[in-house]
Structure formats: C-alpha cells, structure tokens
Amino acid sequence: MSYTALKQMQEHNRNLFGSDAGPIQPERHYDSFDYGLKAMALKFLHTRCEGLGFDTEIAEKEASENSYQGASIKTGQIPYDMQMDINRLCLERELEKFIDSGSAEDAYTIYYCYLEMFFGHYGKSKKMVELLSEFEANGSSLLMKHRDHYSHSVYVFALGLAIYEGNGAYRKAFKQFYGFDPDETNQEEDHKAAYCFLEYWGLAALFHDIGYPFELPFEQILSYYEVEGKKRGKGIYLAYRDIDTIISLSVEAKAQFMKLYGKDFATIEEVLAHVTTNRLGYKYGFTEEYILKKIHDKPIDPNEFGYFMDHAYFSSIRLYQEIERSIGITRINEKHIDALTAILLHNSLFKFAISFYKDKDSKGPLPMDVHPLAYMLMLCDELQCWDRTAYGRNSRTELHPMAAEFDFRNDTIHAIYYFDKEEQEKIDDFKARYRQWEDNGEQGEAPRLKAYSDMAEKEQRFASDIEKIVDMKDILLAIVPNTKEADRKSKHMYLSSSSFMHLYDFAVALNARYNYQGAEKDVANQKLEQDFEELSLEYQLSNINQAKSFAKYLDEISCFYTDRPVDYEMVTVFIEEQMAVFARLEHERWIKEHLAMAWKQGDLYETVSLSQNMIERYGNETDARKALREQLRMHKLTMDGNPTTEEIFEHFEALPLEEKRKDYEPFNSMLKLIKKFDGLRIYKLD
C-alpha cells in the first residue's frame, strides 16, 4: 500500500456507504521489472515516499473535533493527510508526463508542484522560476554556445530520484550523513530519509541554474568579440558591483545562523564559505579564508577565473533570498544551506578551486559521503546532456544526444545516449577521421565531434571526466552512444506560443470563467488569483494543464495565441461550432486526468442519505454533498477502465445538453478574462 490516507478514507467510506465507495488506490504507472529513468523515479515517489507530508497532530485534532483540515475545491472538505497523498500523486503524475515529453510546459508543472508542496505558495516564487526560461529563450540566441537549463534542471531532478532509488550505497551515505538509520528494513526511517532527500534534493536540482540570467549578459558581451575572432577576455567584459546589496544578512538572519553554526556572519557568502569548509575542507586541505575569497571574487573579478562568470554563485545567492522570503528565516536549517553549497560547488568552484580535477596532482573526485547533495548534483548535471534545446549559434550546429535510455539496476548507471540518425553523415565522417588519426600514430589532437566523440572515442572522455569530478567506486558507469530516428511529436509543439509568465495567469482566468460569466470586467485580478490559490494543488494543476492544452484546442480550429503583435485577425468571440470542438477535447482531457488521479465513476454522493451531523458540518446539504464527492473521489461524469478517445467522445455526445454546455459556454467568458492579463491575444489563420 502506497497511498495510506486514501486507503483509510476508503475504509471509512465503505463502513458508511458499502463496498462501492472510494477512494481507490492510484495505479502504479511503472513496471516493477523496469529499471529505467521513468520507472525508478516514479517508484521513488510512489513507494518510498509513502506518508509524505502527513501530520500526526493535525490528524489527532481532526479526530477529536470531528472535522477536516485538508483542502480540495475548498478547505475542510477532506482530511489533511488525504490532501498530502493527493499532492504526492500530483507530483508523480506530472513527473511522468515530463519524462515522456521533455517539454518546457511539462517542466513548469514540476516546479509548480515542488513550490506548492515545500514552499507552500507558488505565487511568491513564480518570477524566479519563470525568469530563467524567458531569459534563455529570448537572450541566448545572441551567444556562441548555450543550451537549455529549464527542462534540463527537471531532468536532473528525475535522475537524482532514480539514482537514489536504485543505488543502495548512495542511500546509505545519505542516511548516515543526515542521521537516519541506514538499515533498509527500518521502513519508518527509510520513508523519513526519502522525504528529506526529495525536499532538499529538489531544492538543489530544480534551482541549480536559476543564476543564468546573471551569466548570460556576460557571455553576450564576450560573444560579440568572439565573432570577430578575438580570444576570450580580449575585449570588454562585465563585472558586478554593489554585491553587498544581495549578500548582506539581516539582524534576524544573523541570529538564525548564530543559532545554527555558533558563529557571527555578516553575509551569506560567509555562511556558504563556512559550511563548504566544514564539509570539504578537511579532505581537500583548504581554509575558510581561502574559499571565502574565491567565492567573493566570483562576481567582481571574473578575470581571475579565465573570464568566466559563475552562474552557480548567483543561483545560490538568489535561491537563499527566495527561501528566506518564502518560508521565513527562522525555518531555514542546515539542510537548506547544504543545498545552497551544493549549487555553489556544482559548476566550477569544486572543479577548479578545490579539487583541480584537470591537474596531474588533482586532489581527487568528491566522495558521496562527504557532501551527498553536492555529489548527486554534480553527477546528474554531467549525465543530463540529452534533449536540450540549443540556443547558441555554435550549439545549434553541434551534435548532441536527443534522447537517452537508462538502467539503474545492480548499483550501475548504464546509459545509452541516442543521436539523430539524420546526422549519420557527420558521425561517419568523424569515425573516418578518428581511424585515420589512429593509423597515423595518434599524432596531435584527436578529432572531435561534440558530444558524440566524447562517448564514442576510446578515451571515453565523457565518462572519464565524470569520474574525475565525483568518486564512482560505488556506482559503475557504462556509457554507449547510438543513433535512432528523431521523434519530435512527443513535445506536442503547436503554433501557439507565449511567455511562461502568462501560463499562471491563463490558468487563473480558466478557473475564473466558471464563476464570473458576464461579470468579468467587474472582478479585480487580485480576487481572481485569490480564488485560484484557495484551490488544492490538484485543482490548480487541472487549470494549468487545461491552459497548456489550449494550444492544441486552438490548433484544431486553425487559431493560435501569442503575446506578440502579428498581422492576423484577432478572435473576439468563439462561435458555437468552435466551442463544440473545444468541449469534446476538454472532456477527453478531463476524463484522462480523473483516471490518472484515481477517481471513479458513480453518483453515490448525490443519492446516499446524509447524516444531520454532516449537513451541519458543511452548512447545507448542497455543500455537504460536494464535500462527500471529494471524500469519495467519485464523479458521475467520469469513466472507469481505460477508454479510448473514440469511447470518450461517444461518452461526451451522450451527456445531457446542460452538461455539455458546462464544457463550452465559458470559453467566451475566458476570452474576456485573458484580456485582463496584458499581452495575450488569440488570432485565426484564415
């Protein structure tokens, strides 16, 4: 049993209403004999994280007061622990979708789930999350070399979950480092360690590259001179000043870090230097003063680092500010700082200022038991080199893997990286040049074909570089390059496009369409957002996923949306035929969503007799029945089993007209609402 709160509610409901009552257990969307990336990452969430977020005190209070504190459509409809189970299921299902597609839109919902589950409020942090994607998409084409870091970070997150699930040595190192019983038979401790890993690994993995908006302008300036053939640094370059404005600690922060580390700090740089030295200093022989100077000089003296600006520095500093603002300084603990130091180390600080990994007298790779989060981040950051959008001018012409298959069984990472078969001519040319280089006695530099050659040549540069960075004695690494035909349909690309900064607003508008038809102009944006934020994560994601699907819906009627001015006729109203197309597609999405989230078909919540106690608890019979629907996770309009698209469309056509209208009448209301969020408009192609 993996979703215990759902099981407890099912037992409660069946005692009251009979054997047909729900909720049902969510289906496992992976094969227990599959050791691939998706299967292992989902297994971690489905099984190892059982009980994630449960609160014994809240459960006891609910029992004593005969009330619920969990939220569904409204607060108080379900038990708190049941909401936590549903939140975990949301993350599981969204991660599954992302691994299948790799799309930035599906990466977005992983960030959304994480922030809602561990920060408590996506809205407070949305600018931090969305800015990286927007900056990369719009500014990176000016660079010589640059590839996606938004979807990349979610792939890194998934890789870490899969490695944790598949590698007993790492689990043991992590548990011992953070004081958990390493005995695998101790299920309670095993679950607690998994919760801990999910929270702090998620923090390190998902946000390790949010500092790129600071590095990109630096690289843009250098690229301008690189186009002219000048060497790096032989021209104007950027350096940052007034760094104290973002690193100085408040009085409250100083007090908290004194409590945590017994030392007075003036800046977050000093905290990070202190913790980095505590974790790594004894093994690599450096002092706190040494590493503090290295950290401090990163933004202000890039000339001391080969004219490279370290995004990892800004990622850790920016994330610290976000954590403090979102959860409050008194809730920051040592593990938050470990995640920040992992981010600080992952790019160049460990490689070039601590281990000197390219030198003959290198001080050695990082062992997993010295800093487990940093170890995992550096390992996964190197492994995640597939399916990354190339933005830079040179990057777009290089050969990079488009897909990868993993096998994590037997404490091994076996990876097959696939390159586009259409690039076979480049690969054959490289192989011929490499054989000629071998036949000529291997004189001079070996031929290269980024990144294929790093995996295919006998030097195995890709794997050997990883082994220089992190100690792989407990994880066997086997890398194989291959080719196959590209599958570009998985990303579901449509003509519609907009800033990610609109996706949240779009979802808010979609939610509001059911409540404010005819009165859209009279409702303040703040009220619309407040209504949206009162929903549970499940219902928020439903609106977001509907917003993501809208590009598909518009494509079906030869329309598109964009936040850019275009010379097409703007759509100001949908005609009935267009709305009928939307309604059928939306019904399909809604059915599949409910099946994935373990809802069952039925109308028990409408027909069963309610106790007076339940009616009084919710104020009236109507609201009581709505709450019962959420407790049963039962809906009369959904379907059971695994229906085909055709069967779902037939189901839609059989619905009463009143129910059909619920799916299409609000779309014109939505058109009015999205105008409240500046910039997004809908156009038709013909």
Exposure class string for 197-226: b at 16+ Cβ within 10 A, else e: bbbbbbbbbbbbbbbbbbbbebbbebbebb
Which of 62-71, 312-321, 503-512 has the least mean pLDDT? 503-512
Residues 434 and 484 in one domain: yes
The C-alpha R_g of the chain, in whole angstroms, comes to 27
Q: Are 594 and 641 in contact (CB under 8 A)?
A: no
Secondary structure of the chain: what % helix, strand, coil (to 5)? Answer: 60, 5, 30
CA atoms of 2 and 488, how far apart (whole Å): 35
Structure tokens at 542: 């439903």
Tell me which of 459, 491, 523 is where a domain ends.
491
pTM of the complete model: 0.93
Residues 301 and 373 in one domain: yes
CA atoms of 13 and 631, how far apart (whole Å): 8
Q: Rounded to whole angstroms, what are the CA distances from 558 to 433, 496, 571?
A: 49, 10, 11
Which of 208-217, 614-623, 637-646 has the least mean pLDDT? 208-217
Q: Average pLDDT over the chain, rounded to whole?
A: 88
Residue 625 lies in a domain: no
Tell me which of 397, 425, 451 is where a domain ends.
397
Residues 296 and 228 in one domain: yes
Q: Three-class SS of residue 483?
A: strand
CA atoms of 405 and 419, how far apart (whole Å): 12
Q: Three-class SS of residue 402?
A: coil
Confidence label for 311 from pLDDT (cuts 50, 70 and 90): very high
Residues 467 and 485 in one domain: yes
Residue ranges of alpha helices (H) inside 207-307 are: 212-227, 244-247, 251-261, 268-276, 282-284, 288-300
Angle between helices 80-101 and 56-65 (to 10 degrees): 130
CA atoms of 81 and 94, how far apart (whole Å): 20
Q: Are 390 and 398 in contact (CB under 8 A)?
A: yes
Is the pLDDT at 664 greater than 90, yes or no?
A: no
Residues 367 and 311 in one domain: yes
Tallying the residues shown for the chain, one arrives at 686
Which position has the higher pLDDT, 200 or 514? 200
Confidence label for 619 from pLDDT (cuts 50, 70 and 90): very high
Residue 13 lies in a domain: no
**pLDDT, tens digit, 9 for 90 and up, residues 384-400:** 988 876 544 444 456 78
Distinct helix (H) and strand (E) counts, the chain: 31, 10
**pLDDT, tens digit, 9 for 90 and up, residues 77-90:** 999 999 999 999 99
Is the pLDDT at 681 greater than 50, yes or no?
A: yes
Residues 564 and 667 in one domain: yes
Residue ranges of alpha helices (H) inside 328-447 are: 334-344, 372-383, 424-439
Residues 252 and 353 in one domain: yes
Residues 156 and 253 in one domain: yes
Tell me the residue type at 609.
S
Residues 388 and 415 in one domain: no
Residue 90 lies in a domain: no
Confidence label for 467 from pLDDT (cuts 50, 70 and 90): very high
Q: Which residues contact 93 (CB under 8 A, 6 or more apart)?
A: 29, 596, 597
CA atoms of 36 and 30, how far apart (whole Å): 10
Tell me which of 350, 370, 397 is where a domain ends.
397
**pLDDT, tens digit, 9 for 90 and up, residues 173-190:** 999 999 999 999 999 999
What pLDDT, on a 0 to 100 scale, did the predictor assign at position 10? Answer: 95
Residues 371 and 447 in one domain: no
β 75-78/70-71 pair status: antiparallel
**Domain total of the chain:** 3
Is the pLDDT at 543 greater than 70, yes or no?
A: yes
Q: How far from chain centre, in Å, is Cα 64?
A: 38
> Percent of the chain, pLDDT > 70?
88
Q: How many C-beta neighbours within 10 Å does residue 567 have? A: 5
Residue 536 lies in a domain: yes
Tell me the residue type at 384.
Q
Q: Are 401 and 102 in contact (CB under 8 A)?
A: no
Which position has the higher pLDDT, 160 or 453? 160
Residue 653 lies in a domain: yes
Mean pLDDT confidence for 451-468: 87
What pLDDT, on a 0 to 100 scale, did the predictor assign at position 396? Answer: 46
Tell me the residue type at 132.
L
Q: Are 209 and 315 in contact (CB under 8 A)?
A: yes
Angle between helices 372-383 and 461-469 (to 10 degrees): 170
Which of 109-118, 335-344, 424-433 has the least mean pLDDT? 424-433
Mean pLDDT confidence for 462-477: 95
What pLDDT, on a 0 to 100 scale, did the predictor assign at position 283? Answer: 97
Structure tokens at 394: 């040179």
Residue 97 lies in a domain: no
Is the pLDDT at 343 greater than 80, yes or no?
A: yes
Residues 251 and 337 in one domain: yes
Q: Are 204 and 373 in contact (CB under 8 A)?
A: yes
The domain containing residue 144 runs over which residues? Answer: 107-397
Which position has the higher pLDDT, 12 or 395? 12
What pLDDT, on a 0 to 100 scale, did the predictor assign at position 391? Answer: 46
What pLDDT, on a 0 to 100 scale, did the predictor assign at position 497? Answer: 61
Residue 43 lies in a domain: no
Q: Rounded to whole angstroms, what are the CA distances from 154 to 110, 202, 245, 454, 490?
A: 7, 9, 30, 24, 17
What pLDDT, on a 0 to 100 scale, did the predictor assign at position 226? Answer: 65
Residues 442 and 529 in one domain: no
Is the pLDDT at 517 greater than 80, yes or no?
A: no
Sign for the pseudo-dihedral over CA of 278, 282, 284, 288: positive
Is the pLDDT at 140 greater than 80, yes or no?
A: no
Q: Are 362 and 356 in contact (CB under 8 A)?
A: yes
Residue 386 lies in a domain: yes
